[in-house]
Amino acid sequence: MEYNFLKISTSDAICTLAISAPKSLNALNSNILKELDDFLTNISPDIRVLIITGDGEKSFVAGADISEMQNLNEAEGFEFGRLGAQVFRKIEVLPIPVIAAVNGFALGGGCELALSCDIRIASNKAKFGQPEVGLGIIPGFSGTYRLAKIVGMGYAKEMIYTGRAIKADEALRIGLVNAVYEPEQLMEEANALAGRIVKNAPIAVRYAKVSINEEYDLAADDAIAFENKMFGKCFASKDQKEGMTAFLTKREAHFTNE
Ligand code: CO8
């Protein structure tokens, strides 16, 4: 599929995907969502970390496209929400870590896109918010589900009921982002973070992501049993032998993803 709204570059197993719809501050329309869906479905197994950002200096993603949503009926609204939610779920369960490098406005569906990523870092120019109720809708790309998981019920409800946008420093304070940088440092820091992940055993990183995601919603005994199973599976990998042998023989590990 040819991408008209995604700018993609890959280097050292780190893929950077910039959403690019400059006329609408990278607002997500159904064409962009379909391109994202196609990209996530066909992502190369050689990629070990995905970084998602927004093209240009002003916006990460300014929400779902309001002009496309304006005249939808109930069934069409349901379908649009389903498409976005399905794409964001693909990000959440992608078998590699996904970093959101939030370079500007992350509003509505843009904030929800960041929430579906594993880790969020931001420029000090970033702004986060869920302004949907001011438009007569609710966060419909799984924001009512994920925001509370990340910042807690109290902040999530305040942000969603008021629609108030928050700046990067407040996002950092409430745990919505892990770090805030000067705008010109953001992508360098995103790549450095990705690079630290890429150095590790890919299978172990993958199992760690699956474990954290799956266990979150389970009862304690089930969660611990799930981790136990995944921990055992690590010992079926060559990389476990390589990692431990490298440590014990005081050399650098060379992981082969086997
Ligand atoms: N959709 C469509 N167009 C947009 C959007 C958007 N979300 N955001 C910005 N644009 C367009 C503007 O209309 C404008 O177009 P034009 O130049 O043709 O007038 C252009 O981008 C530039 O925007 P502004 O002139 O407004 O730029 P400012 O710097 O003055 O303001 C803001 C920037 C603050 C980001 C402002 O554009 C804004 O408030 N945008 C809307 C933000 C918003 O409300 N986002 C939430 C949308 S709803 C949503 O995301 C729901 C997700 C769940 C969907 C569930 C489906 C059922």
SS3 7: strand
Q: Which pLDDT belongs to residue 27?
A: 98
The one catalytic residue in 2, 35, 68, 112 is 112
Q: What band does 2 get if pLDDT is binned at 50, 70 and 90?
A: very high
CA distance 242 to 234: 12
- Determine the average pLDDT of the residues in 188-196: 98
- Is 132 marked active-site? yes
Q: Are 28 and 52 in contact (CB under 8 A)?
A: no
Closest of 32, 11, 147 to residue 80, by C-alpha? 32
For residue range 237-256, list pLDDT tens digits in order: 999 999 999 999 999 999 99
**CB-defined site of ligand 1, < 6 Å:** 24-25, 27, 62-67, 77, 80-81, 84, 105, 107-109, 131-132, 135, 139-141
The one catalytic residue in 132, 158, 242, 258 is 132
**Per-chain mean pLDDT for the chain:** 97
CA-proximal residue: ligand 1, atom 13 (nearest)? 24
For residue range 163-178, list pLDDT tens digits in order: 999 999 999 999 999 9
Q: Rounded to the nearest whole angstrom, what is the distance from the C-alpha of residue 115 to the centroid of ligand 1?
A: 19
The preferred substitution site among 66, 72, 87 for testing ligand 1, maximizing ligand atoms within 8 Å of CB, is 66
Burial of 140 (0-12, 13-18, 19+ CB in 10 A): buried
% of residues, the chain, pLDDT over 70: 100
Q: Which pLDDT belongs to residue 225?
A: 98
For residue range 69-120, list pLDDT tens digits in order: 999 999 999 999 999 999 999 999 999 999 999 999 999 999 999 999 999 9
- Is 214 marked active-site? no
CA distance 94 to 15: 13
CA distance 94 to 43: 9
Q: Which pLDDT belongs to residue 105?
A: 98
Q: Rounded to the nearest whole angstrom, what is the distance from the C-alpha of residue 26 to the centroid of ligand 1?
A: 9
pTM score of the predicted model: 0.97
